[in-house]
Amino acid sequence: MGRARRRAREAVEALCALVQTGNSPLPVKVGELKVVWRATGEGDLTVRYWSPDGRPGELVFGPEAHGGSGYDRPGQEWGTGFNFDEPGCWHIHLERATGSGDAWIEVVAD
């Protein structure tokens, strides 16, 4: 499983595992990507993301709370689906009632 750069603040730690169908998760390529998050804190998880030029993205699905995977990290587990439609550095913002965190994923052309 791959890793994305992350920044945590306000008592929330966010870790992720990248799941790309049919490919190694890294490098992340243009297209759809499932990301499994583990986020500490309380409350529902809200996820927003932006393209390299600042255009907001629309999630394919999620965030969906779930468990039972082998991704053993602190916090509750959530699944999200992204559609990265261009290469570059994508900004992802995660927020719970008790804080927020950010991640950046570098996407390359297929």
pLDDT of residue 88 exceeding 90 = yes
pLDDT at 47: 96
Segment 21-70, tens digit of pLDDT: 565 567 889 999 888 888 888 999 999 999 999 999 999 999 999 876 77
Contact 108, 29 (CB under 8 A): yes
Confidence of residue 100 (pLDDT cuts 50, 70, 90): confident
pLDDT at 9: 47
Global pTM value: 0.80
Compare 11 and 64 and report the one with higher pLDDT: 64
CATH number, domain at 104? 2.60.40.10
Query: Total structural domains in the chain?
Result: 1
pLDDT at 46: 95
Alpha carbons 9 and 20: distance in angstroms, whole number? 28
pLDDT of residue 103 exceeding 70 = yes
- Domain span holding position 14: 5-108
